[in-house]
């Protein structure tokens, strides 16, 4: 075991008799045992990764009875309706009685493809900016800032507006998944609509599901 050896005690011989030196070696086995026990404990209990967070901002509530507050007309809109059983329905443009819903899901080829295709304009622009950023020197702050300003402007000018609605059957996991998809597809303008879906949208879903 680990021990300190300081040359041992006096060994027989001639000469004056010295006082017997006590050995300074201590048995360190228990201490080492304890050290390893603690080591194992801390290795097994420590958590390195802190939980991650997804930020959501909820603006002030709008008083619906206030005549000055009109719902803005959304022209290039994509409305996503979340419902139970991990189903997603969406439609483009504004809601009309003849609107056809399209069903999709949470997979890579589902809603992500729809979002990426709808947002292709902005995505290509952003990709171009990123390439420019990669080319220039990192220390060139003036140029970097200029490009970042262009990025902000492009996001501001983005025509696509995504609206997210849910009904009583949609789960929290569904909403977080969709929010995450918005981040992945780098959608610049998306809104979580406060209340449940409109009656017409509920009816459209019911119709779609009854058709099978």
Give the nearest distance from C-beta 151 to other proteins in angstroms: 17
Ordered alpha helix ranges (H), 67-161: 113-118, 120-135, 141-157
Candidate ranges 54-62, 71-79, 87-95, 150-158; the one touching other proteins (CB under 8 A): 54-62
| Residues 180 and 53: beta-carbon distance below 8 Å | no
Helix crossing, 120-135 with 141-157: angle to 10°?
180
Binds other proteins by CB under 8 A, chosen from 8, 13, 19, 56: 56
Give the nearest distance from C-beta 16 to other proteins in angstroms: 32
State which of positions 103-162 bind other proteins (CB under 8 A). Answer: 108, 112, 116, 123
Applying CB under 8 A, does 1 fall inside the site for other proteins?
yes
Give the nearest distance from C-beta 68 to other proteins in angstroms: 19
Binds other proteins by CB under 8 A, chosen from 172, 199, 211, 212: 172
| Residues 104 and 117: beta-carbon distance below 8 Å | no
Burial 155-178 (b: 16+ CB within 10 A, else e): eeebebbbbbbbeeebeeebeeeb
Strands 161-166 and 77-83: parallel
Give the nearest distance from C-beta 197 to other proteins in angstroms: 11
Applying CB under 8 A, does 65 fall inside the site for other proteins?
no
Distances (CA, A) of 65 to 32, 41, 44, 71: 74, 61, 58, 12
Binds other proteins by CB under 8 A, chosen from 26, 32, 62, 69: 32
Which positions touch other proteins (CB under 8 A)?
1-2, 28, 32, 35-36, 38-39, 42-43, 45-47, 49-61, 82, 108, 112, 116, 123, 166, 168-177, 179-180, 183-185, 194, 196
């Amino acid at each position: 075991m680990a021990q300190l050896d300081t040359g041992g005690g006096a060994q027989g011989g001639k000469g004056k008799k010295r006082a017997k030196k006590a050995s300074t070696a201590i048995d360190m086995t228990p201490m080492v045992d304890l050290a390893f026990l603690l080591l194992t404990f801390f290795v097994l209990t420590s958590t390195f990764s802190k939980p991650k967070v997804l930020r959501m901002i909820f603006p002030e509530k709008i008083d619906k009875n206030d005549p000055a507050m009109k719902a803005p007309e959304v022209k290039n809109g994509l409305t996503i309706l979340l419902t139970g059983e991990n189903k997603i329905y969406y439609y483009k443009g504004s809601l009309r009685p003849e609107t056809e819903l399209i069903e999709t899901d949470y997979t890579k080829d589902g809603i992500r493809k729809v979002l990426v295709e709808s947002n292709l304009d902005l995505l290509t622009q952003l990709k171009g900016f990123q390439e420019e950023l990669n080319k220039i020197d990192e220390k060139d702050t003036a140029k970097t800032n200029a490009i970042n300003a262009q990025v902000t402007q492009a996001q501001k000018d983005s025509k696509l507006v995504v609206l997210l609605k849910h009904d009583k059957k949609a789960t929290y996991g569904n909403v977080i998944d969709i929010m995450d998809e918005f981040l992945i597809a780098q959608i610049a303008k998306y809104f979580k609509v406060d209340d449940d879906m409109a009656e017409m949208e509920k009816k459209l879903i019911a119709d779609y599901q009854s058709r099978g």
